[in-house]
Chains A and B, each alone.
Chain A
Amino acid sequence: MYSKTRLAKWYMQFDDDEKQKLIEEVHAVVTVRDAKHTNFVEFRNFKIIYRRYAGLYFCICVDVTDNNLAYLEGIHNFVEVLNEYFHNVCELDLVFNFYKVYTVVDEMFLAGEIRETSQTKVLKQLLMLQSLE
């Protein structure tokens, strides 16, 4: 299967080779699961919470004691913001505007924690930034 990582964000130190290995492993464990499966999968000493939107997987790797459903909805909240920001987001938007997606991530998640959850507030901030030169 052909697959590409559109964006990866790291909150722990890894070297480039390790990052590549992790990406491949995550891909391997997540893409084999079907829709009837849970949105959670154990991964090394952590767990991955993921959600699939069309052909695109959004995955987040957290401590095993973290709240599964909170992160699952954290992903959806993020996707709704992207959708609003890019007016019906599609994968290509993420490719061409990768540098903006990083900004969206930082507005909503920082240091591996949830920073802001209000879609209104995030979008207002993003539009303000958009208006700057």
Chain B
Amino acid sequence: MPAVSKGDGMRGLAVFISDIRNCKSKEAEIKRINKELANIRSKFKGDKALDGYSKKKYVCKLLFIFLLGHDIDFGHMEAVNLLSSNKYTEKQIGYLFISVLVNSNSELIRLINNAIKNDLASRNPTFMCLALHCIANVGSREMAEAFAGEIPRILVAGDTMDSVKQSAALCLLRLYKTSPDLVLMGEWTSRVVHLLNDQHMGVVTAAISLITCLSQKNPEEFKTCVSLAVSRLSRIVSSASTDLQDYTYYFVPAPWLSCKLLRLLQCYPPPEDGAVKGRLVECLETILNKAQEPPKSKKVQHSNAKNAILFEAISLIIHYDSEPNLLVRACNQLGQFLQHRETNLRYLALESMCTLASSEFSHEAVKTHIETVISALKTERDVSVRQRAADLLYAMCDRSNAKQIVAEMLSYLETADYSIREEMVLKVAILAEKYAVDYSWYVDTILNLIRIAGDYVSEEVWYRVIQIVINRDDVQGYAAKTVFEALQAPACHENMVKVGGYILGEFGNLIAGDPRSSPLIQFNLLHSKFHLCSVPTRALLLSAYIKFINLFPETKSTIQEVLRSDSQIRNSDVELQQRAVEYLKLSSIASTDVLATVLEEMPPFPERESSILAKLKKKKGPGAVSTELEEGKRDGGELNGGAERGVDAAAAIASNASTPSPSADLLGLRSAPPVGSAAPSASSLLVDVFSEAGPTAPSGVMDDNFLRFVCKNNGVLFENQLLQIGIKSEYRQNLGRMYLFYGNKTSVQFVSFSTSVSCPGELQSELNIQAKQVEPQVEGGAQVQQVINIECLADFLEAPLLNIKFRYGGALQNITLKLPVTINKFFQPTEMSSQDFFQRWKQLNLPQQEAQKIFKAKNAMDSEVLKAKLLGLGTALLENVDPNPENFVCAGVIQTKAQQVGCLLRLEPNAQAQMYRLTLRSSKDTVSRRLCELLSEQF
């Protein structure tokens, strides 16, 4: 037991620790601990007053027991007593116990704060530091309330010892992070900034962390730190390796301070003052030069310390993104590291180069390293390094190298780690789409992707290839040929069957001229896969079959026979059975013309943000792919040249469908999940691809509460553990004003708080939304208000999206919600007589002017509640109009800038069946449908 003899005092503690270590079993350990706890308890309760030493020893034992993982429910008072001892060792144990076992007992907090107060006032630097460390370690709001005013004074006082200043600076930082509202720098700001000039490097090292944090929040107030930081950095960088003595680490002068200085500068744009900027550029050049000098030591500590500064300098160069010369030099330096024998350096170089690739000045320079990066992807042993290599390839990809990079990524996928396959697949899919010049290459790439990594090809990916094939008629024949060939493989992935079924169902006719791929051969090929597929794929195949009957009348009898077989028509799966029955019927009774109309080729999809990109963005977190996103949008538009032809796919499906719901989607992609097991994620993805009449929601949007605001204007829109969002809104004519209240439910400040409201797709031209900015900080417990002005230009279907981003305890929170702005908000109630009502009702007699829904009551059918809801909808509730007093009728005019849309509504409750029938008529079909949809969720 070497440590026992070394231990100074507290022999009892050392013996106890030895005893515990010698316990052969968990039971023995618990027995020994219980014995000790009983002993300590009796000592604390005993009549004899304990001396300071014993108290310290027992408190320390309790702490040890706690750290072993056992609960401690006594001894706090004794620990607090130790705080007022005038012996350092006793005080230290007292503070340690308090810091590790913080107790919210208010009585104790008062006593602890009292002891801290005395120590801060003691002018004894050792005691002051203990007290400051305790505050910094606990960092509670109570402590901030008690000491946030005192600590800045200690920090800048002329007679404060250096070590106390160091502790005070970081203690203040901790309090600022927990309770920023309580830390008011105001009058101290300039003196705190000038700590950068302190002659004690330790003071600068500690203070700069505080200054950096404060600068991030209040850049304007602290901007004088820039020139001070530059001159400090310059002095360090130009000093000889031995000048700084204590602060030289393996021949590198003040590496940590240098890094912190460079990091502080990253809170600001490049210095405006020419002299300061010149000096800084000189520093950065010196740092780059030093990287080329022969090392002063072979120790890894030397090179790590030196490179820590180098990487921080490169971060600053990238942050400025304005010095082409430095950017290219940085890139060359990183290029050397790409082949370094240290894995750490290769990893960091790949990571850092990723950000360089997005700068226009260094993008080309980064590209020259492509071969090295590809070889890293193939040969690195550490998966996280390979991951960085893949990231970098993705970042450096452009039209000139897309084919090579995509090919390399595909070949890497064959052996890639499971952990990164899905992300790799998304990246390949995005690059293939973004840089597709010829679409046959794009189709080949995606089909290869499915072949190589079919399990990792998410729905977004194969939906996307279908969208693109449908929108580009020049690639349809090639796609049909290619999937046909791919399906020849005896074992092909189910995703391939899906794509194959879909594409052949649409475009199989384009290759049917070739006797090797005649209609019947195509059908037999597809059907040979049928029995190995899951239910959703089978459903899709059935839809492909009915499409075949339309495309190739000669296959009709064969396919009808298949549909008629017991395994289809009596399938135990309701969806499959229904499809088989309905398709069989449809093919038997419908005339060729009707069939051709119902089973018409899919119209082009409206262009929108690539759903794949949305998914990658979600995986990687916001911001990670923002540049690609914008480019993706641009390039995506180019790729899907059919955008302007954009017929709404959903409208086409809806008007073509002659049979009710499940078969309304002839393509099987919207197959309803089995009753009761609706998968919300799946459906939101589908919505993303097919613009059904419903609101489109990029996956990840939370809309649980959206529907609750159709008939009311105020309430809580969103709530989680951190944040509550309340809403108050008022509407007049085609204008609305919404007040959003963001409440911070925690005691910690939210920083970088920002909100934005966006109108996806067509909504942009339908709503005009102006949101006032909010403050970037929300204090703990505080609530901030945001005003949003809304103007309705034309009737609309979708909802605006509210995105909220903020940092809480370092972690980025990102929430997207649907803002409850619905078309009915712009209703103007219209009173009318029974006669007028029915006359207008009859006038609106075109089938598309009416929308009707019969649905089950979700809530009790209380007529008062129903009335309140209908009034909340914004229409006038017309009494004595409907001959049946149980029914409700309403009328209103929707006010948009472009036009007014009159609407009539009738709601017929059937109390016996617990059902409602809801009918809407208006002069605009989309309005009727949308209102019907919104309202049917309300009762």
Where the two chains meet, the residues of A that have a C-beta atom closer than 8 Å to any C-beta of B are 11-13, 20, 33, 36-42, 44-46, 63, 67-70, 72-74, 76-77, 86, 90, 92-93, 95-99, 102-103, 106, 110-121, 125, 128-130, 132-133
Contacts and interface: CB of A to CB of B under 8 A. Distances in A.
Interface of B: 1-4, 6-8, 14, 17, 21, 60, 63-64, 67, 69, 87-89, 92-93, 96, 99, 126, 133, 136-137, 139, 163, 166-167, 170-171, 173-174, 177, 201-202, 205-206, 209, 245-247, 249, 254-257, 259-260, 263, 301, 304-305, 307-308, 311-312, 343-344, 347-348, 381-382, 384-385, 809-812
A129 B2 contact: no
Contact of B89 (A72, A74, A77, A133): A133
A28 to B, nearest CB: 14
Contacts of B163: 125
B136 A38 contact: no
Of listed B69, B126, B308, B809, residue having the most chain A CB within 10 A: B308
Given A67-B263, A96-B7, A121-B246, A12 B810 contact: yes
Contacts of B99: 102
A124 B716 CA distance: 58
Contacts of A67: 259, 263, 308, 311-312
B71 to A, nearest CB: 9
A110 B249 contact: no
A115 B171 CA distance: 10
20 contacts: A20-B69, A40-B344, A44-B811, A63-B810, A68-B308, A72-B308, A73-B301, A73-B304, A76-B301, A92-B2, A93-B2, A93-B6, A95-B3, A96-B7, A99-B60, A110-B170, A111-B136, A113-B206, A116-B205, A125-B163
Contact of B311 (A12, A69, A119, A125): A69
Nearest to B10: A99
A69 B308 contact: yes
Contact of B170 (A70, A77, A111): A111
Nearest to A133: B87
Given A38-B384, A63-B810, A69 B348 contact: yes
A115 B384 contact: no
Given A73-B305, A112-B174, 11 more contacts: A12-B810, A41-B384, A63-B810, A68-B308, A72-B304, A97-B3, A103-B92, A106-B137, A110-B133, A111-B177, A117-B205
Given A95-B17, A97-B7, A114-B205, A38 B343 contact: yes
B384 A118 contact: no
Given A97-B7, A111-B136, A111-B174, A37 B381 contact: yes
Contacts of A42: 384
A40 to B, nearest CB: 7
Contacts of A120: 245-246
A41 B7 CA distance: 36
Nearest to A88: B2
Contact of B307 (A33, A69, A110): A69
Contacts of B3: 92-93, 95-97
Contact of B88 (A76, A125, A132): A132
Nearest to B257: A117
Nearest to B172: A111
Contacts of B171: 110-111
Given A45-B810, A92-B1, A121-B246, A102 B96 contact: yes
A39 to B, nearest CB: 6
A64 to B, nearest CB: 9
Contacts of B92: 99, 103, 129
Nearest to A125: B163
Nearest to A103: B92
Nearest to B809: A12
Contact of A36 (B14, B381, B809): B381
Contacts of B173: 111, 113
Contact of B167 (A37, A86, A115): A115
A59 to B, nearest CB: 15
Contacts of B1: 92, 96
